[in-house]
């Protein structure tokens, strides 16, 4: 990725964080984990409610799988009887290092909201 593209993604990420923080942050600047939580809630499709600690972890997992499926790391296999989506890991791809995953998550989050028609 070239420097201009990297700078452009940084600006888009900051714009997304500002937009999401304004809508959902209650005066606080939200981080990647909070944005992943919101994506997970949206992908679950059951609306916001109080979630257990395990459900919150599962919501983060849903978001990560959804976002990284764009790059072939996960494949959607369907919903269970409770309506929770499930994903299969693509083991033919090399594992991502922490920094690489964070960059991809931010990039995919930008695309997720852009493709949803949200103008930030």
Q: What local confidence, expressed as pLDDT, does residue 51 receive?
A: 96
Which residue, 37, 97, 41, 43, is CA-closest to 73?
Answer: 97
pLDDT of 91 reads 82
Using CA atoms, how far residue 112 sits from 23, 29, 52, 78, 104, in Å, is 17, 19, 25, 19, 12
Task: Spell out the per-residue pLDDT of the chain, length 120, in tens.
Answer: 566 778 899 999 999 999 999 999 888 999 999 999 999 999 999 988 999 999 999 999 999 999 999 999 999 999 999 999 999 998 888 888 888 889 999 999 999 999 999 988
Give the start-to-end residue ranges of the domains of the chain. 3-115
- CA–CA distance, 88 with 51 (Å, rounded to integer): 24
CA distance 101 to 23: 26
CA–CA separation, 35 and 13 (whole Å): 11
């Amino acid at each position: 990725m070239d420097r201009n593209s990297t700078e452009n993604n940084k600006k888009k990420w900051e714009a997304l964080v500002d937009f999401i923080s304004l809508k959902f942050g209650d005066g606080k600047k939200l981080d990647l984990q909070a944005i992943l939580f919101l994506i997970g809630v949206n992908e679950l499709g059951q609306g916001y409610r109080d979630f257990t600690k395990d459900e919150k972890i599962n919501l983060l997992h849903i978001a990560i799988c959804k976002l990284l499926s764009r790059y072939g790391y996960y494949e959607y296999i369907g919903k269970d009887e409770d309506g929770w989506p499930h994903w299969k890991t693509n083991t033919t791809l090399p594992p991502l290092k922490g920094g690489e995953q964070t960059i991809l998550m931010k990039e995919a989050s930008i695309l997720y909201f852009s493709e949803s028609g949200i103008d930030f």
